[in-house]
Amino acid sequence: MELVYLWVEDYKNIKKQGFNFSPRFKCEYDEEKNELAIDENKDYVSIFPENINITAIVGENGVGKTSLLKFLIQILNNRHYMVNDFFAIYMENISNKIVFYKQGKNINIKKNKYKFEIFWDNDLESNWVNYNYKYEEISSIIHKHSIFNRYGSLNTFKHIHILNKYKNILSIINDKYYFNTLQVVIKEKDTSFIKEHMIDGENYYFKKEIQELLYKFLEDFKCPNQPQNTNDINRISKQNVLIKKERLMEYNTLLFFIHFIQLNKDEYSLDLDDDHIEDWINSIKDYKNIYDFLDTFENFLLKNEQFNIFYNIFNELYGNIKYLKDIQNNFIKDEDKKEYLLNYSLDDKKKIDEVISNTQYITGLSSEEVFYCNFIEYRFMNLEKNIFFDDLSDGEKNILLICIDFLHQLDLEKEKNKIFVFDEIDNSLHPFWKKELLNIIMKLLKEFKVINNHNKTTNIIFTTHSPFLISDLPKENVLFLEKGKQVYPFEDNQQTFGANIHTLLSHGFFMKDGLMGEFAKDKINEVYEYLTNSNTQSKLTQKDAQNIIKLIGEPILKKELQSIFDKKFQVDDIDKKIREHEEAIKKLKSQRNNND
C-alpha cells in the first residue's frame, strides 16, 4: 500500500495543508468546497519498481519537515488522540484501489478521468470490510538518530542485528569490511527500562517477543573462512550452537583455530592426527568440559611456536571464559542459570562489576535478563584484522547502522507493507556516502527480494539537506516545503533527477542569495567596493585587494575583478604577462602532479 496524500488540519507549525507523497497522482483539496481532486500524473515516469516509493522532504530549517514526520508517526501508530483532524489516501497496488481514511469531517471526492475504486475506512480497528486495508497492517519504522534519539522507539526495546544471510551487504557497501557479527542493543541508563517491561508488581520480565528477538541474533554466527562442506566443524557449529541458541564468539573462534590448524598441519609438520582433532571438536561440542579443553589447547599453542599469532587472542579469550566461571559461582545461585550464562561473551569486566554492584535496583530480574540488558556487544572484522565498531568514523557508523537497521526491519513480518521514516537520513555522512546512499538502499531492496514483490509495498520517506540525494530522485518524488506548506520550485521543463548540484541548491533548497559562502561574499564585495568607489571607507590596501583576487576560485569573477584592479592601478603589460605566466605554470604543475 502506497501513501498518496495527507491533509493536516492543525499540527505544530503546519496549518490546513496538504502533501502529495506519490509521483503517480496529484491531489488537491479545496477547503471552501470541501472537495478533494485526485488526478493521475500523465507525465509520470517510473524509475523505481512498482512496489517501491521513495519520497524526500526538503526545505529550510523550521519550515515543518520534522513536524510532518512526527505527524506521520502519530497516525501510523494509531495515536490519533494526539492530533487534530486529518485525512490520508493510500493506493492498494494489487487492485489499484484507493483507500481513504479520515478523522473528522466528511470529504467530497471530485470525479476525474482516472478509473479507480475508492473505499472508505472510518474505523482503524475495522476488520469486517474485507476489501479495506486494515490500518494496523502498515508496519512503520523509525530510524533513531544515534546521538539525539529524537523519537521514542516504536518497540519498547529495539534490537538491531545482522544475520549471516545479510553478509552480501559487504559487496554493496564497501569491499573493505567483512561482517563477522554486529549486534546493537539500545540500552537505558536507569531502572526505568526495567519498570517499563514489568508484567506484575513483584517480578520483572522481558516481554516474550523481546526475548525472542534476543534469541534470534544468537542463531547465526559463523567464523570467517569457516568451511562450507558438511564436515564436523559445520556440524558442531549447527548442532551445538544453533539448536541451543548459544552461538558464542569464543566457541566459534576456537573452532576457527582448530580448523586452521587442521588445514595447515602438514605444512607445519605437526604430529597431529585426525582423531586428536576430533577429540578437540568433541570437547567444544560438550561445553561442560570447555575448561579442560582450554588447558589442553593452551599447552598445544605454547609448544608450537608457529602458532604464536593465535596465543594472544586465545589468552584473552581464555581469561574471559574463566571470568564467566567466577561470575557464575559468586553471583548466580541457580545452577541451571550458571550453565546458561556461560554461553555469553562478556569481555568488559568493569561493566560486569558495575551491574553486579547495582543488583539491589533490579531485584527480581532474572539473571539472563540482566546480562541481555548489559552485555550484548557489537563488533565486526575484516578478513585481515579485527576492526571494532567504535574505531569507525561517525559517518561510517551511521551508514552501516542505517543499512543494518533497514535489513533487520525488512526481515520482520516480511509480508506486511512497510513505511520507513528517516529524519535527516544523511546526517554525519561524508559527501561520498550521501552520493551513494540511495543506490545502496536500492541494492539492499534487490538483495532482499523486496523489489517487484507485488504482495507488499515499501515506502521510504526521509528528510534531507543533501543535493546528492535529491539528484537521484525525480521532482515528483521530492516534497518541497516552505513555511509549512508544499511548494513547487521547479518549472515544468526542469527536473531534479540528474540535475547539477548548483541548480538543486538554488532551487530545491531555496538558497536565493546564491551559493557562495557569506564570508567570502563579504570579502569580495569589499574588494569590489574598494576598486570602484573612490569614497569608500575600506581599510584594504592595494596589496590586500590583489591577494584576495588571487584567492578567488570562480574564474569569471576573478578575471573581471582583476581587470578592474589593473585599470585602477594602471598595471603595465609586463606585469600582466608575468602574472599570466605564473598562473599558467601553476596549472601545468598541477596537471603533472595529477598525472603522477
DSSP letters spanning 498-556: T--HHHIIIIIT--TT-SS-HHHHHHHHHHHHHHH-TT------HHHHHHHHHH---HH
Round to whole Å and give the CA distance between 87 and 100. 7
Q: Would the pLDDT of 370 be above 80?
A: no
Round to whole Å and give the CA distance between 354 and 374. 10
| pLDDT single digits (tens) 260-283 | 666 666 665 666 677 777 777 666
The confidence band for 289, taking pLDDT boundaries of 50, 70 and 90, is low
Q: Would the pLDDT of 548 be above 60?
A: yes
193 with 373: CB under 8 angstroms? yes
Query: Do β-strands 2-11 and 14-20 pair in parallel, antiparallel, or remain unpaired?
Result: antiparallel
Instruction: Give the number of other Cβ atoms within 10 Å of residue 194's Cβ.
Output: 20
Task: Please provide residue 183's backbone torsions phi and psi, each rounded to the nearest 5 degrees.
Answer: -125, 135
Task: Please provide residue 153's backbone torsions phi and psi, each rounded to the nearest 5 degrees.
Answer: -70, 145
pLDDT at res. 430:
82
Output the nine-digit C-alpha cell for 439: 543506490
Over range 189-201, report the average pLDDT: 34
- Least confident residue range of 245-259, 472-486, 561-575: 245-259
Output the nine-digit C-alpha cell for 214: 534476543
Three-class SS state of 46: coil
pLDDT at res. 493:
76
Alpha helices per DSSP H over 39-135: 65-76
Round to whole Å and give the CA distance between 214 and 329. 24
What value does the mean pLDDT of the chain take? 63
Output the nine-digit C-alpha cell for 378: 557489537
pLDDT at res. 56:
92
Q: What angle do CA 486, 492, 497 make, to 5 degrees?
A: 80
pLDDT at res. 89:
81
- Least confident residue range of 66-80, 337-351, 386-400: 337-351
Output the nine-digit C-alpha cell for 29: 483539496
Output the nine-digit C-alpha cell for 178: 567483512
477 with 4: CB under 8 angstroms? no
| pLDDT single digits (tens) 230-261 | 333 333 333 332 323 333 445 555 655 666 66
Round to whole Å and give the CA distance between 339 and 324. 10
Output the nine-digit C-alpha cell for 38: 485526485
Round to whole Å and give the CA distance between 441 and 435. 12
CA 424, 396, 211, 235: dihedral to nearest 10 degrees?
Answer: 150
Question: Quick one: how far is CA 37 from the chain centroid?
Answer: 36
CB neighbour list of residue 218: distance below 8 Å, 6 or more residues apart: 245, 246, 247
Q: Which of 220, 240, 147 has the alpha carbon at shortest distance from 186?
A: 147
Round to whole Å and give the CA distance between 410 and 455. 14
Which value, in Å, is the radius of gyration of the alpha carbons in the chain?
31
CB neighbour list of residue 515: distance below 8 Å, 6 or more residues apart: 502, 505, 506
- Least confident residue range of 3-17, 273-287, 329-343, 386-400: 329-343
- Least confident residue range of 273-277, 334-338, 457-461: 334-338
Q: What is the DSSP string of 170-227?
A: HHHH-TT-EEEE-EEE---SSTHHHHHTBSSSS-B---HHHHHHHHHTTS----TT--
Q: Of all residues in the chain, what percent carry a pLDDT higher than 90?
A: 2
pLDDT at res. 61:
79
pLDDT at res. 361:
36
Question: Quick one: how far is CA 129 from the chain centroid?
Answer: 37
Round to whole Å and give the CA distance between 306 and 501. 56
DSSP state, residue 111: P
Q: Would the pLDDT of 542 be above 70?
A: yes
Between 337 and 473, name the one with better pLDDT: 473
CB neighbour list of residue 50: distance below 8 Å, 6 or more residues apart: 93, 452, 454
Q: Would the pLDDT of 20 be above 60?
A: yes
| Cα–Cα distances in angstroms (integers) from residue 328 to residues 117, 218, 292, 541, in the given order | 64, 20, 17, 78
Q: Would the pLDDT of 43 be above 60?
A: yes
Round to whole Å and give the CA distance between 31 and 29. 6
Three-class SS state of 77: coil
Q: Of all residues in the chain, what percent carry a pLDDT higher than 70?
A: 46
pTM equals 0.51
pLDDT at res. 125:
30
pLDDT at res. 3:
83
Over range 577-593, report the average pLDDT: 81
pLDDT at res. 458:
84
pLDDT at res. 332:
41
Query: Mean pLDDT: which of 24-33, 93-102, 103-112, 273-282 is highest?
Result: 24-33
Three-class SS state of 103: strand
Round to whole Å and give the CA distance between 402 and 421. 11
Output the nine-digit C-alpha cell for 339: 550453565
Over range 183-188, report the average pLDDT: 30
CA 311, 313, 319, 321: dihedral to nearest 10 degrees?
Answer: -120
Q: Which of 411, 399, 419 has the alpha carbon at shortest distance from 54?
A: 419
What b/e string do you get for 147-179 counting C-beta neighbours within 10 Å, with b at 16 or more?
eeeebeeeeebbbbbbbeebeebeebbeeebeb
- Least confident residue range of 302-306, 351-355, 520-524: 351-355
pLDDT at res. 356:
43
